[in-house]
Chains A and B, each alone.
Chain A
C-alpha cells in the first residue's frame, strides 16, 4: 500500500498519460478505420484492394514491430522529425485502424441485402438509405466488437513502455529508480487497469444483451 500512497502523484500522472494516449489514438483510429472500411466496401476494385492490403499487412504485424519501425527506423528516412510520444500515437492509431476497419466492414455486411434493395425501391436517396436503414442496423453489430477493440487499444498503450513514452507501463522504471518495491508497484498498475477495463466490459455486455434481443 505504501508504494501507492508514497507515489500517488506518479500513479495519477502516468495513468492520466495513458488515458490521453488512449483518447487521441482512439479518435484517430476510429476516423482512419472508418475511411478504410469505406474503401473496402466501395464499388471501385482498386480502392478495395488498397484497403485490403493495408488491413492484411497491419493486422498480421505485431504492434511492437510497428513501434520499432516508427521509433528506430522512421527517423533514418529524415522526413519529419517526430517525438516518441507522436510515434506512439501514430503506431497505435495505424495498428488499431486495421481492426476498426474490419469491425465496421463486417457490421455493414451483416445488414441483409434486401434492406438496401427495399429502401432503393422505396425511392430513398443514398444518404437516406445509409442514415435511416443500413447504419442503424449495422451499428448494433458494430458496437460490442468495437468496444473490445477499444479495450485492446487501452491495454496496448502499455507497449509504449519500451520506447521512452511516459504512461502507466513506465511506472516500473520510476519505481526501480527510486528503489521502491517493483512487485507491489506493478500489482497496483495491474489493479489500475482492471479498474479501467471492467466498466468498459460491463457496458459491452449490456449492449450485447440488449441488442441481441432486439434483432
Chain B
C-alpha cells in the first residue's frame, strides 16, 4: 500500500473513510447486481445454454483447444528466447557491422503490430507461393515480435550491470565469450527473470490473436461453441466466462512464478550457509549491509 500521499488517519478521517468504504461497496455491488440482473433477464444461464458442458465431444475439443494455445505458447516462447538471446548478443557486439543490422531488425519488428505480421505470414506469403499453416504463422510472428522485445530486455539487463564487473573480468585475462558467459550473463539473468516472465505472459495472451487467422485455439473454440444457435441457443456469455477464467488462471500462474522467483532472488545474495556459526554471522552482517547499501540490482 502506498503511504506516500496520506498521513495516518485521525478519528475524523477514519469515519470519513468508513463512509467512503460503504459507498464504494454499494456502488460495486450495484454494478455486479445490475450485470447479474441482465444475465437473468436475458436468460444467459438457462439449462439449454449450459448444456454444452455435458457433451464429451465438446469437453475433448476444449482440452484440444487449450493444448493448441499452450503449444503455440511453448514453441513461441522457446523460439522467442533464442531469437532474443541471439539478437541481444548481436546488439552488444564490438563490431559495428553486426550491431547496426541487428538494431534495425529489432526496432522494426518491435514497431510492426503482431496482427499485421500474422496476416503477412498467413495471407500474404501464399501470394509468393509459400503456404504456411495457421500454427506456423502464429509461432513465427510470436517469435519475431516477442523475440525482439526480449532482445531489448536482455540488452538492458546486461547494460545495467556495473562496468567494474566486465572490467575486472577482462583484467583477469578472460576472453569476450568468457566474460559474457561466466560473469555478465549469470548476474543479468537473475535480475531480468521477472521481466522475462512478464513478457512471456504477454506472449501467452498474444496467442489469442491466432483467432484472427483461424488458428484453432482457445478463443476460437469459445466463439464456435458460443455462436452455436442451433444446439445451445448461443451460449456466448457462459462460454466466454469459462474461456476468460482459463486465460486469467494461466496468466496468473505465470505471474505467480515471476513473483516467486523475484522473492527467492531477493532473499539470498551473498549468504553462503556454513556450519560455522561465527562465519555465518559475519557473512549475514555483510549481506545485510550490502542489501541496505543498495548495492544489489
Contacts and interface: CB of A to CB of B under 8 A. Distances in A.
Contacts of A43: 6, 9, 13, 17
B2 A120 contact: no
B98 interface: no
A60 B28 CA distance: 21
A142 B212 CA distance: 33
Contacts of A7: none
Interface string B1-39: 111111101000100010011001100100000010011
A65 interface: yes
Given A68-B223, A73-B237, A108 B5 contact: yes
A76 B237 contact: yes
B244 A201 contact: no
Interface in A67-114: 68-69, 72-73, 76-79, 105, 108-109, 111, 113
B52 interface: no
A57 interface: yes
Contacts of B119: 161, 169, 172, 186
B285 interface: no
Contact of B120 (A113, A126, A162, A187): A187
Contacts of A44: 17, 20-21, 24
Give the dominant DSSP class at B's interface.
helix
A79 B38 contact: yes
Contacts of B240: 65, 68-69, 72-73
A72 B116 contact: no
A197 to B, nearest CB: 4
A158 B115 contact: yes
Contact of A61 (B20, B234, B244): B244
Interface stretch (A8-16, A26-34, A176-184): A176-184
B295 to A, nearest CB: 19
B211 A64 contact: yes
Nearest to B112: A190
A183 B2 contact: no
Contacts of B28: 46, 50
Contact of B7 (A65, A77, A120): A120
A142 B147 CA distance: 25
A60 B116 contact: no
B116 A201 contact: no
Contacts of A108: 2, 4-5
A140 interface: no
A193 B113 contact: yes
A200 to B, nearest CB: 9
A198 B108 CA distance: 9
Contacts of A61: 205, 244, 247-248, 251
Interface string B212-223: 100000010011
B219 to A, nearest CB: 6
B184 interface: no
Interface string A146-188: 0000000001111101100000110010001000011101110
A136 to B, nearest CB: 14
A77 B237 contact: yes
Interface of A: 40-41, 43-48, 50, 56-57, 59-65, 68-69, 72-73, 76-79, 105, 108-109, 111, 113, 115-116, 120, 126, 129-130, 134, 155-159, 161-162, 168-169, 172, 176, 181-183, 185-187, 189-190, 193-194, 197-198, 201
Given A134-B5, A186-B123, 13 more contacts: A50-B24, A60-B205, A62-B247, A73-B226, A113-B3, A116-B4, A120-B7, A129-B5, A130-B5, A158-B116, A162-B211, A182-B124, A201-B107
Interface of B: 1-7, 9, 13, 17, 20-21, 24-25, 28, 35, 38-39, 41-42, 44, 107-108, 110-117, 119-120, 123-125, 127-128, 201, 205-209, 211-212, 219, 222-223, 226-227, 234, 236-237, 240, 243-244, 247-248, 251-252, 255
18 contacts: A44-B17, A46-B20, A56-B248, A59-B251, A60-B205, A60-B247, A68-B211, A73-B237, A108-B5, A126-B5, A159-B209, A162-B212, A182-B124, A183-B125, A183-B127, A187-B120, A193-B113, A201-B107
